Every structure is written in C-alpha cells, then in structure tokens.
C-alpha cells in the first residue's frame, strides 16, 4: 500500500510560508528549523521539501538528487550547530520517529537533531 500525503500537516504549512519558523538552513531540497518545544538545548528539525510522510517513504520514492540534497543538509546543519565530534562538538542524536511505534506526530518526514546535553539511553526501557 502506498502512502498518501496530507498537505495540511504543519510542516507542509511551514514549507509554504503559512506558519513562521526559526530557520537554521534552507537549501534546494531541505529546510532546517528550531523545534518549537525543544527537548534539549539544541533541537533542530530537518525536513525534505518534497511530500514524504516518513523515512521509508522518502528512501523508496524520492529521487537520488532529493536524497543526496537532504542528507547533505543534515551534514551542513550538524556543522552549523557545532555538534560534530570531528570539530570538537559534543555529538548529537538524529531521530526520525515513524508511525505508531515511533510516536510520530507530524506526518511529514523530519529528522530531529538533538544535542547540548547528555541525552541518556537511546529509548526508555518498558516499565
């Protein structure tokens, strides 16, 4: 079954300029902006400009140019944020929550870049 993209989702509105955002980087294929409810001192979202619901949708349906452009934008954002260990940054976590198990709230692919504190275990243990 293929995905259907809801063009009324909040990130689609941000891409159309209908909702403001605090832009960190904009490229031909990606937009990076600050998360409105940061979970860490550094919390930036990187989204592709194309209509992709999640990572597997993007990885299967996007063009090579879009995939390269989006991936390079993530690299550029890490550089701009100064989180790269290779530049004495403290490191980061890149997360793409997907679907029900991933507790995805916004149905447009977004990669969270989190840093600025020790982030703890990758996922909580079940209680």
Catalytic residue IDs: 110
Give the whole-angstrom CA distance, residue 116 versus residue 60. 32
Radius of gyration of the chain (CA): 15
Shortest Cβ 64–ligand AMP spacing (Å): 25
Query: Which run of H or E residues covers position 47?
Result: strand 42-48
Residue 21 is a binding residue for ligand AMP (CB under 6 A): yes
- Residue 49 to residues 15, 19, 46, 79, 81, Cα–Cα distance (Å): 7, 15, 10, 20, 21
The residues, ordered by sequence, that sit 6+ positions from 110 with a Cβ below 8 Å of its Cβ are: 11, 45, 46, 47, 96
User: What's the number of CA atoms in the CB half-sphere (13 Å) around residue 25?
Assistant: 24
x/- map, 37-76, ligand AMP, by CB under 6 A: x-------x-------------------------------
Residue 100 is a binding residue for ligand AMP (CB under 6 A): no
Residue 9 is a binding residue for ligand AMP (CB under 6 A): no
- The DSSP call for residue 79 is H
Shortest Cβ 33–ligand AMP spacing (Å): 6
Per CB under 6 A, the segment of 1-9, 34-42, 65-73, 85-93 that binds ligand AMP is 34-42
Binder of ligand AMP out of 105, 118, 126, 127 (CB under 6 A)? 105
Residues that bind ligand AMP (CB under 6 A): 10, 19, 21, 35-37, 45, 97, 103-106
């Amino acid at each position: 079954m293929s995905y259907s993209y809801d063009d009324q989702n909040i990130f689609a509105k941000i891409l159309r300029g209908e909702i403001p955002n605090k832009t960190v980087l904009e490229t031909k294929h990606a937009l990076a902006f600050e998360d409105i409810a940061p979970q860490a001192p550094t919390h930036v979202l990187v989204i592709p400009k194309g209509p992709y619901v999640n990572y597997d949708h993007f990885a299967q349906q996007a063009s090579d140019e879009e995939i390269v452009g989006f991936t390079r934008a993530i690299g550029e954002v890490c550089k701009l944020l100064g989180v790269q260990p290779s530049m004495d940054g403290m490191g980061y976590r890149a997360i793409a929550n997907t679907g029900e198990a991933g507790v995805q709230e916004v149905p447009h692919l977004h990669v969270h870049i989190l840093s600025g504190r020790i982030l703890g275990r990758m996922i909580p243990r079940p209680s």
